[in-house]
Amino acid sequence: MTPFRAIFKDVWSRLTWPDLASTAVAAGGLMAAIFGFNGGFFNFLKYLAVLAGVYLLFQLIGWWRNRLLWSLRNRLIVAYLFIAFVPILLTVTLVFLAGRILYSQLGAYLLHEDIQQRIAMIADISEHIAIAHQTLPSNVTERESERILAAQSHAVHDQELPGLSISFSSDTSLLRKVAPPGKKSFAGLLHQGDTLSLTSLLAIPDRNGERVITLRVPVTSDFLSTVAPDATGLVTRAWPSRVSMPFSIA
């Protein structure tokens, strides 16, 4: 037996004589309204059809209410779920969200500290190069001195600072743009065009005036893989929104 036939049979078995009479009157009034029959009898039939329709509507609501109401056992099960399971679920959800927030904050802290250490590192390298540059023998040419100092720095720091580049220039325009007034050094994140890098600029005395030592470490995937190695999963979410904004040069 199909579900429709089973429902129809159930409904038919529950119908009483008032229900059948009301159904017939409602059907007759509906037909009279559809075909436009008028007159005293048909108008009275339409009136009775309205009353029969209201009666059938209440009967239908009561029938569906009885079918939809669950047993006491099922209602108790639902009540226990809301009383016990839902609070536990909410508590677990809150703990999970709080853990994610703390995890993210820990990642931001580790990332910030590691970036600051790398910035301090390239600033120290600049200082060491500047000191070594001034203490080399006078018989060593300036170009040879710079080549030797750059090679030594690469040998020591290339693993910690992948992509490190060291250059020397007499152009101080960039240093004047980024350094505070009166300062002859800069160390921090520098954004130039489409390139973001850890940059250190240091001006040292030169025979012809001043010479600028420039160290750059581009922020690439290779570099980020070395940042906060104990929290690799945290770094991706924390960078770059949780690190201090870089100095931007158009």
Q: What are the domain boundaries of the chain?
A: 3-69, 122-249
Q: Give 96 or 12, the one with higher predicted confidence.
A: 96
- Mode of pairing for the β-strands spanning 247-249 and 209-218: unpaired
- The first and second tokens of residue 138, run together, are 């006078």
pLDDT value at residue 146: 74
- Mode of pairing for the β-strands spanning 209-218 and 165-169: antiparallel
pLDDT value at residue 93: 93
- In whole angstroms, what is the distance from residue 46 CA to residue 196 CA? 83
pLDDT tens column, 181-191:
878 889 888 88
| Whether residue 13 has pLDDT greater than 80 | no
What mean pLDDT value characterizes the chain? Answer: 77
Confidence grade of residue 241 (pLDDT, cut at 50, 70, 90) = very low
To the nearest whole percent, how much of the chain has pLDDT over 70? 77
How much is the average pLDDT of 115-121?
Answer: 89
How much is the average pLDDT of 188-213?
Answer: 84
User: 122-249 has which fold?
Assistant: Beta-Lactamase (3.30.450)
Q: Give 213 or 56, the one with higher predicted confidence.
A: 213
pLDDT value at residue 67: 60
Q: Which residues pair with 97 in a beta bridge?
A: none
Q: Give 50 or 96, the one with higher predicted confidence.
A: 96
- In whole angstroms, what is the distance from residue 53 CA to residue 26 CA? 6
> Any idea of the CA torsion for 195, 199, 205, 207, to the nearest 10 degrees?
-40
